[in-house]
Amino acid sequence: MRLLIIHSLAVLQLVFTSLGVESFAHQAELKPVERREAQIPINDFVLLDQSSQQFKFGQVAGRVVVVVFAYTTCPDVCPLLTAALRQVQSGLSQEERNKVFLLTITTDPEIDAPKILTSYAKRYGADLTNWSFLTGNPGELQKVWKNFGVGVKRKARGLVDHTPLTALVDRQGKMRIAYVGPAPDAKAVLKDVRALLAQ
Amino acid sequence: MQLIFGLLALFAFTGCGRNERMDLVYGERCANCHGVGGRGDGTLAAALPSPPPDFRETVQRKSNSQIRRIIAEGKGTMPAFDPALRPAEINDMLQMVRYLSREGRQLAWWEKYDTLIAAHCSIPWEAALGLDDPPEKKP
């Protein structure tokens, strides 16, 4: 009887493996990154960081700021954007880290509470001494998205279409370079950061 | 009686074929990196710092609770889906991962039992056996 059961289980295990694979309609494409130069003043704003502390954009005035727009449950471009920003942070010398600040600004405040941003930062190994993850109320975030030219459209809970932007803001608070695309090359970003530091 | 119990247990713990809910959640949240067949060859996979695994090589070694934890809490660059998805959707994702891990075996003869399998799979076994939250209704 025991053998019969084992045999039956083994055969029935196979029943569940016979269906085919279909294609999906929601496949993201890995588009090339476009680099654009700009001269857009960034207005001061107040958001919340991953520790629930107020973060004023003015507090990083005088530094070059690398800004990425992403959200934690993003299943396509955001992991690439955040991984690239992590590479940028790793490429900075200790001296440069005092002059450069990194910001990840959420495009999904519905989900991205400070506690969730903390877990996200930890998973990517972010050094929070010069990198903050920001959220806030939707009204304030919309002003920030608009200032940077980021379009945001909610599709479902935890699923948001947004412009895949990595922006460089100079020491005078102007957005000078915009990389639009999912995987900016960290070396190219570092080169532009150093050029802005030299100005 | 033992045989019936064994078969029921197998059905409950082996999981079912795919359905539209599983396709939807997997297509929206997983396929870009893991690939439509779960082989780690999604359109974004090559650009990730570490490539996603082929489910056929890794999933069979993991328990349902281990897979569920990875889906819920994330791992490396993989998002944590717990804040965004309901338990029933995470369960659909888990079943899809299990399903794709068995892909590639040639078992056409058993396809004639599709009707029986479909009937079985319409039963929420984990909820019926008290192993998971019951599927939630969408608001």
Q: What ipTM was reported for this prediction?
A: 0.79
Banded model confidence at residue A38, pLDDT cuts 50, 70, 90: very high
Nearest CA in chain A to B9: A9
A197 to A36, A95, A177, A194, B114: CA distances (angstroms): 18, 12, 13, 5, 65
Taking only residues 27 to 46 of chain B, the set having a beta carbon closer than 8 angstroms to any beta carbon of chain A reads 27-33, 36-37, 42-44, 46
pTM over 0.90: no
Ranges of each domain in chain B: 14-128
Q: For residue A42, what are the domain limits?
A: 38-198
Output the domain CATH number for residue A108: 3.40.30.10
Average pLDDT, chain A: 88
Domains contained in chain A, number: 1
The pLDDT of residue B13 is 47
- For the domain covering B14-128, report its CATH number: 1.10.760.10
- A159 with B77: Cβ contact below 8 A: no
Q: What is the mean pLDDT of residues B30-37?
A: 94
Average pLDDT, chain B: 79
- B28 with A75: Cβ contact below 8 A: yes
Q: Rounded distance, CA A9 to CA A128, Å?
A: 52
Give pLDDT tens digits for B66-93: 999 999 999 999 999 999 999 999 999 9
Q: What is the mean pLDDT of residues B89-113?
A: 73
b/e map A120-133, b = 16+ CB within 10 Å: bbebbebeeebbbb
Q: Rounded distance, CA B68 to CA B86, Å?
A: 12
A-chain residues near B102 (CB < 8 A): 16-17
Write out A11-56 in H/E/C secondary structure.
HHHHHCCCCCCCCCCCCCCCCCCEEEEEEEECCCCEEECCCCCEEE
Distance to chain A for B53, nearest Cα, Å: 16
pLDDT at A184 over 60: yes
| Strand pairing class (A34-41; A46-48) | unpaired
